[in-house]
Amino acid sequence: MNALETILTRRSTRNYRPDPVEQEKLDQILDCARQAPSGGNNQTNHLLVIRNKEVMDELAAMAEKAFSKMEPDENTYASLRRAIEASKKGGYVFHYNAPVLIAVANRKDYSNNIADCACAIENMMVAANALDLGSCWINQLKWLNEEPEVVAYLQSLGMKEDERVYGALIVGYPAAGLPNRNLMKQKGNEVTYID
C-alpha cells in the first residue's frame, strides 16, 4: 500500500490476538510518533509504552472503579457515558486486552498538549496499518487524567509530576487476521470551498 491508501484505510480494531508486537515494528511505530509535528517544535510528548499484563489489568480495574463512581448527565460526552454505564455493570476493560497500550502524556501547562499528542497518535495508527497491525484510539486515560489514583499510578510508572495523559492507543494483531480496511462511510466532515 502507498501512503495515501494506508491513511485512507486505517480503521479502529477492538479485538486482538494475544501475540506480542515485534520490537522492530514497535520501534517503527514509535519513530513515527517522535517525528510528528509539535507546537514550536516543542517535542514534549512522553510515550508510556505499556506491555506488562499486570499493569494493564491494574489500569483497567482502576478505570472501571473511577468511571463507576461517575453520574452522567445530559451534557456528558456520549463515549464517556458508555464507559460509565459499562463500568457500573462491571467487567469493563477499556484497552480491549490488546498486547500494547501506549499512553501519550505531555505537560499540563502547555497549551498545545492535546494537539501534539493527537498528531503523534494519528501517525502511530497509520504506521500500525502499514505494518498489518490493528490499532484504536483510547480516550479513557485522558478522561481520567486528573483522577488522583490514576495520576499517582502513572507517575509510579514513569510519568512526570507536570505531565498528564492527553490520548492513548492500543496496538496488536487483529483477531480477524488483517485489519479491517474498508473506507468509513461519511456522515459528516463537511467541506466548504472559499474560492
**Does position 97 bind its own copies by CB under 8 A?**
no
Q: Could you tell me the smallest distance in angstroms from the CB atom of residue 65 to its own copies? A: 20
Is residue 112 involved in binding its own copies (CB under 8 A)?
Answer: yes
CA dist., res. 149 & res. 168, Å (int): 18
Distance CA 100, CA 85 (A): 25
Q: Does 48 bind its own copies (CB under 8 A)?
A: yes
- Interface of this chain with its own copies, residues 12 to 31, rule: CB under 8 A: 12, 28, 30-31
Q: Which residues pair with 107 in a beta bridge?
A: 163
The yes or no reply on residue 6 touching its own copies (CB under 8 A) is: yes
- Residue 13 CB neighbours (<10 A): 24
CB nearer its own copies, residue 86 or residue 118: 118
Q: Parallel, antiparallel, or unpaired: how do β-strands 100-107 and 134-138 relate?
A: unpaired
Tell me if 71 contacts its own copies by CB under 8 A.
Answer: no
180 near its own copies, judged by CB under 8 A: no
How many Cβ atoms sit within 10 Å of the Cβ of residue 125? 26
* Least gap, CB of 68 to its own copies (angstroms): 20
Enumerate the β-bridge partners of residue 136: 170
- 186 makes contact with its own copies (CB under 8 A): yes
Return the beta strands (E) in 29-90 as ranges: 46-50
Q: What is the DSSP string of 144-166?
A: TTT-HHHHHHHHHHT--TTEEEE
Binding flag, residue 98, its own copies (CB under 8 A): no
The site that binds its own copies (CB under 8 A) totals a number of residues, namely 77
| Distance in Å, CB of 113 to its own copies, minimum | 9
Nearer to its own copies, 16 or 128 (CB): 128
> Which one of the spans 65-73, 77-85, 87-95, 172-180 is the region binding its own copies (CB under 8 A)?
77-85
**Judged by CB, which is closer to its own copies: 64, or 122?**
122
Buried b (16+ CB within 10 A) or exposed e, 88-105: eeeebebbbbbbbbbbbb
